[in-house]
C-alpha cells in the first residue's frame, strides 16, 4: 500500500494587524494538518508530509512538523510555519530598504600646502620650499618631499532590506552581487550621481534552519564628485568621486635657491570599473 498524504482545509493562523503601509497585515505563524495513510511507521508518515508541505505558507517559512496522533492506519501530522530568524516580519521584495550612514575620519596624503610661510628664522625667506611639505633641502633630481597625512571624510552607508533566502542563495544572484563588488555606480543610484558610490559587498546573519526571509545589508563607500578639481594649483575641471588625479613634475631652482615645481602634465585616470547597481534589487 502506497503512502497517501491529504491536507485538511482547516488550520490555525495568527496574523499581525495592518502596519507599516501594509493595509491587510501579514501572517505571523500557521499550523496546517495532514492525514497520512499507508505509512508503515511514523518516519514514513513524517517523510510523506515533508515531501508534500510547501517550504513557505503566506510568506512564513516551514519550521517543523509535529506528529499528533495515530488512529487505525491514519496518522495526523501538523506542519508548523513560524518566523524564527528574528528579521522584520512581512517583508517583501518591494519594501523600501532602511538606510544606515556613517561618516568617520580617514586620511589623504598632501604634498603641497595651500599656504606655507617659513617662521624660523623669521627674517629668512630664501628657502620656503616653494609651498612643498617635508622638503629634504635638496634640489633637482635629489629633491624629495615627504608630505603629510591629513584628516579626510570617509563616508560609508548601508541599505538594509529583507530578502528571500531562496533568492539570496541562488547562484545567479550570488554572481550578480560578486560582479558589483569593488565597482562604482554606472547610473544614478538612490540620490547619488554617477561615479559617487562604490559597492563593498553584503553582510547578514541567519539561523541554519527555518529562515524564509532575512535582513541583508548592502554596504557602500561614498566619495562625492567634484565640479572643479585642482592639482598643484591648476584647475582640471570635473572629477568623478573614484577617479584618480595625478601629476608628472620636475624640480628646479630659481635665483633665490628655493625649489620650483614645474608641472609637466596632469592626468585623470579611471581606476575602477562601473556596474549597474539596480541589479542588486534594493
Q: What integer pLDDT is reported at residue 104 of this predicted model?
A: 76
Q: What integer pLDDT is reported at residue 85 of this predicted model?
A: 47
pLDDT in tens, 12-64: 887 876 655 555 677 778 889 999 999 888 888 899 999 899 888 888 888 88
Q: What integer pLDDT is reported at residue 88 of this predicted model?
A: 41
Q: What integer pLDDT is reported at residue 110 of this predicted model?
A: 77
Q: What integer pLDDT is reported at residue 89 of this predicted model?
A: 42
Q: Which triple of cell numbers denotes residue 158?
A: 548601508
In angstroms, the CA 209 to CA 61 distance is 10
Q: What integer pLDDT is reported at residue 18 of this predicted model?
A: 67
Average pLDDT, the chain: 81
Q: Where are the domains of the chain?
A: 4-82, 85-282
Q: Is 103 exposed, middle or buried (0-12, 13-18, 19+ CB in 10 A)?
A: exposed
Which pLDDT band, with edges at 50, 70 and 90, does 154 fall under? confident
Beta-strand relationship, 274-275 and 184-185: parallel
Q: What integer pLDDT is reported at residue 207 of this predicted model?
A: 60
Q: What integer pLDDT is reported at residue 192 of this predicted model?
A: 95
Number of Cβ within 10 Å of residue 83's Cβ equals: 21
Number of Cβ within 10 Å of residue 90's Cβ equals: 22
Highest mean pLDDT among 14-23, 68-77, 180-189: 180-189
Please work out, in degrees rounded to the nearest 5, the angle formed at the alpha carbon of residue 176 by the alpha carbons of 172 and 177: 120
In angstroms, the CA 157 to CA 116 distance is 36
Q: What integer pLDDT is reported at residue 177 of this predicted model?
A: 94
Q: What integer pLDDT is reported at residue 101 of this predicted model?
A: 80
* DSSP, res 236: E
> Is the pLDDT higher at 161 or at 210?
161
Percent pLDDT > 90 in the chain is 28
In angstroms, the CA 84 to CA 61 distance is 9
Contact residues for 162 (Cβ-Cβ < 8 A; gap 6+)? 87, 88, 91, 92, 95, 213, 214, 215, 216
| pLDDT(211) > 80 | no
Which pLDDT band, with edges at 50, 70 and 90, does 191 fall under? very high
Which pLDDT band, with edges at 50, 70 and 90, does 254 fall under? low
Name the phi and psi angles at 28, rounded to 5. Answer: -95, -45
- What average pLDDT does the segment 137-148 reach? 74
Number of Cβ within 10 Å of residue 52's Cβ equals: 16
Q: What integer pLDDT is reported at residue 218 of this predicted model?
A: 94
Q: What integer pLDDT is reported at residue 222 of this predicted model?
A: 94
In angstroms, the CA 129 to CA 116 distance is 9
Q: Which triple of cell numbers denotes residue 148?
A: 603629510
| pLDDT(178) > 70 | yes
pLDDT in tens, 81-115: 886 544 444 455 666 788 888 887 777 777 777 77
Q: What integer pLDDT is reported at residue 22 of this predicted model?
A: 55
Q: What integer pLDDT is reported at residue 103 of this predicted model?
A: 82
Amino acid at each position: 500500500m502506497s503512502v497517501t498524504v491529504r491536507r485538511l482545509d482547516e488550520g490555525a493562523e495568527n496574523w499581525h494587524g495592518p502596519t507599516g503601509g501594509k493595509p491587510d497585515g501579514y501572517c505571523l505563524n500557521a499550523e496546517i494538518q495532514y492525514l497520512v495513510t499507508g505509512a508503515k511507521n511514523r518516519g514514513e508518515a513524517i517523510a510523506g508530509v515533508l515531501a508534500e508541505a510547501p517550504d513557505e505558507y503566506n510568506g512564513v517559512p516551514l519550521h517543523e512538523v509535529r506528529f499528533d496522533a495515530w488512529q487505525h492506519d491514519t496518522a495526523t501530522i501538523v506542519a508548523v510555519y513560524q518566523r524564527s530568524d528574528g528579521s522584520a516580519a512581512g517583508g517583501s521584495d518591494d519594501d523600501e530598504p532602511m538606510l544606515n550612514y556613517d561618516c568617520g575620519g580617514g586620511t589623504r596624503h598632501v604634498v603641497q600646502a595651500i599656504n606655507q610661510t617659513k617662521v624660523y628664522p623669521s627674517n629668512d625667506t630664501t628657502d620656503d620650499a616653494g609651498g612643498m611639505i617635508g622638503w629634504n633641502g635638496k634640489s633637482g633630481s635629489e629633491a624629495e618631499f615627504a608630505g603629510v597625512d591629513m584628516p579626510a571624510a570617509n563616508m560609508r552607508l548601508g541599505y538594509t532590506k529583507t530578502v528571500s533566502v531562496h533568492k539570496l542563495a541562488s547562484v545567479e544572484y550570488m554572481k550578480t552581487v560578486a560582479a558589483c563588488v569593488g565597482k562604482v555606480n554606472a547610473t544614478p543610484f538612490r540620490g547619488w550621481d554617477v561615479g559617487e558610490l562604490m559597492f563593498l559587498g553584503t553582510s547578514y546573519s541567519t539561523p541554519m534552519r527555518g529562515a524564509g526571509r532575512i535582513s541583508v545589508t548592502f554596504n557602500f563607500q561614498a566619495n562625492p564628485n567634484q565640479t572643479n578639481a585642482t592639482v598643484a594649483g591648476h584647475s582640471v575641471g570635473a572629477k568623478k568621486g573614484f577617479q584618480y588625479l595625478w601629476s608628472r613634475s620636475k624640480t628646479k631652482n630659481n635665483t633665490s635657491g628655493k625649489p620650483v615645481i614645474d608641472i609637466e602634465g596632469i592626468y585623470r585616470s579611471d581606476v575602477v570599473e562601473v556596474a549597474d547597481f539596480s541589479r542588486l534589487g534594493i
